């Protein structure tokens, strides 16, 4: 089985699970989404601090 077939199989399974209307609400997907949002927000907040540290390192090296 090559990579394309495997990718298609995974995509088909995800599509089938998401299209079933009687499926129970999966809280794991909500938790994953929330964790991704927290990581994104943390990276956005840490951006200016990382830039300052980078500038300080270049000034220190001269």
Range of the domain at 30: 3-61
Instruction: Give me the sign of the Cα torsion angle 16, 6, 39, 51.
Output: negative
pTM of the entire structure?
A: 0.42
Inter-CA distances, 45 with 8, 31, 32, 33, 36, Å: 37, 21, 20, 18, 14
Any residues with CB less than 8 A from the CB of 17 and at least 6 apart, and which? 23
Q: What integer pLDDT is reported at residue 37 of this predicted model?
A: 92
**Residue with structure tokens 């000034």?**
59
Q: What integer pLDDT is reported at residue 55 of this predicted model?
A: 85
Could you say which DSSP state residue 22 is in? T
Per-residue tens of pLDDT for the chain, all 62 residues = 577 888 888 888 887 777 665 556 667 778 888 888 998 888 888 888 888 888 888 888 86
Number of domains within the chain: 1
């Amino acid at each position: 089985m090559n990579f394309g077939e495997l990718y298609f199989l995974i995509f088909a399974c995800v599509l089938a699970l998401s299209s079933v209307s009687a499926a129970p609400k999966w809280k794991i997907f909500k938790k994953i989404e929330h964790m991704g949002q927290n990581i994104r927000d943390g990276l956005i907040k840490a951006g200016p601090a990382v830039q300052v540290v980078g500038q300080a390192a270049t000034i220190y090296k001269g």
